[in-house]
């Protein structure tokens, strides 16, 4: 699905499409894709939305690629998947999520999901410690991981 929704992300040295390496967490010569996870939302055994993410400890996680199948766009599928990713990150005590946003998608991330542009100073700090994915023609956005409260059932409610 990611390859259907995106043009190939080509390594300038080898000419190789990086999307399969990202999905499977394969390292290449100059690219470190280890620790990448692919989260999927399925409906009736069909994948309808996918997101690739990587966690860099408690400070930050990145979400470099997301996609929803053409037939399921506009139905809230990615919102459901993103909510699950946020809850997982909260549970793991991750504080921030960053992502590269294409110009045409930036308003969706800022208006629907609450992201903001990263300051150059903050981006510089992140890049010192983490090999984050950045793509030509994108802006880096950031959001704090929201706090969630789990409500457990008591024995009297059962």
H helical segments located in the chain: 2-5, 19-24, 77-91, 106-113, 120-129
Q: Is the pTM of this model over 0.85?
A: no
CB atoms within 10 A of CB 26: 13
The answer to whether residues 61 and 97 touch, using CB atoms and an 8 Å cutoff, is yes
Q: What kind of architecture, by CATH, is found in domain 2-145? A: 3-Layer(aba) Sandwich (3.40)
pLDDT of residue 156: 56
pLDDT of residue 36: 83
List the one residue out of 17, 15, 13 whose CA is nearest residue 4. Answer: 17
Instruction: Report residues of the chain scoring pLDDT below 50.
Output: none
pLDDT of residue 23: 66
**Residue 71 DSSP code:** G
């Amino acid at each position: 699905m990611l390859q259907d929704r995106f043009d190939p992300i080509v390594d300038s040295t080898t000419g190789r499409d990086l999307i399969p390496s990202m999905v499977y967490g394969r390292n290449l010569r100059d690219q470190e894709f280890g620790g990448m996870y692919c989260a999927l939302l399925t409906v009736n055994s069909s994948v309808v939305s996918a997101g690739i993410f990587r966690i860099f400890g408690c400070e930050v996680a990145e979400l470099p690629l997301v996609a929803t199948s053409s037939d399921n766009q506009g139905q809230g599928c990615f919102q459901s998947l993103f909510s699950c990713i946020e809850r997982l990150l909260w549970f793991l005590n991750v504080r921030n999520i960053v992502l590269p946003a294409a110009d045409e998608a930036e308003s969706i991330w800022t208006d629907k999901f609450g992201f903001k542009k990263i300051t150059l100073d903050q981006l510089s700090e992140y890049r010192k410690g983490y090999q984050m994915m950045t793509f030509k023609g994108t802006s880096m956005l950031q959001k704090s991981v929201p706090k969630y409260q789990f409500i457990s059932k008591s024995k009297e409610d059962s």
